[in-house]
Amino acid sequence: MNRERALKVVLVIVGLLFVATLYGLVMLREEEALQMMLSIYVTLGVFLLLASRNPSANRSLIAFTAWSSLAHAAVMTLQSLYDVGERTHLLIGSLAFAVIGAALVALAPPIVNTVNSGRRTVDDTQLLGSEPS
C-alpha cells in the first residue's frame, strides 16, 4: 500500500472514530465541558472524512489533527500522574491519541515547493479564475 493510500485509510478510520464520539455527546448531558470538547471532535471527524478524498489539498487540517492529538496525549499523560483513580483510562486514551498523531505526522502529504517570484503560474490563474496582469 502506498503512502497516500495509507493516509486515506487512516483519515477515514480516525474520522469515523471522531464522528462516533457523537454518541457520548448525546448521552453525557450533565458534563458540559466534555460535551463542548466532543462537539469539536465530531466536527473534526466530518472534515477528516472529507479530507480523505484529497489529502494533499488538506495538509493543514491533517497537520492540525496530528499535532493537536499529540498535545492531547501529552496533557492526558500528565493528568494520569495526578489522578490515580483514572490513571489507566487516561493512559489508554493518551496512547490512542499518540498513535493517531504519530500516524498522521508520518503519513502527512509532503510540502509543495512554490516559487516566490511574485508572478502567477498558469496553474495559479486556473485556480483563481483570472488572467495574469
Distance, first Cα to last Cα, the chain: 44
Q: Cβ neighbours of residue 10 under 8 Å, at least 6 residues apart? A: 103, 104, 107
pLDDT in tens, 6-60: 999 999 999 999 999 999 888 888 888 888 989 999 999 999 999 999 999 999 9
pLDDT in tens, 85-100: 889 999 999 999 999 9
31 vs 8: CA distance, rounded Å: 33
pLDDT bin (cut points 50, 70, 90) of residue 125 is very low
**Are 16 and 45 a contacting pair, CB within 8 Å?**
yes
- Report the predicted TM-score, pTM, of the whole model to 2 decimal places: 0.79
Alpha helix segments (H runs only) across the chain: 3-20, 22-27, 32-51, 59-82, 87-107, 122-128
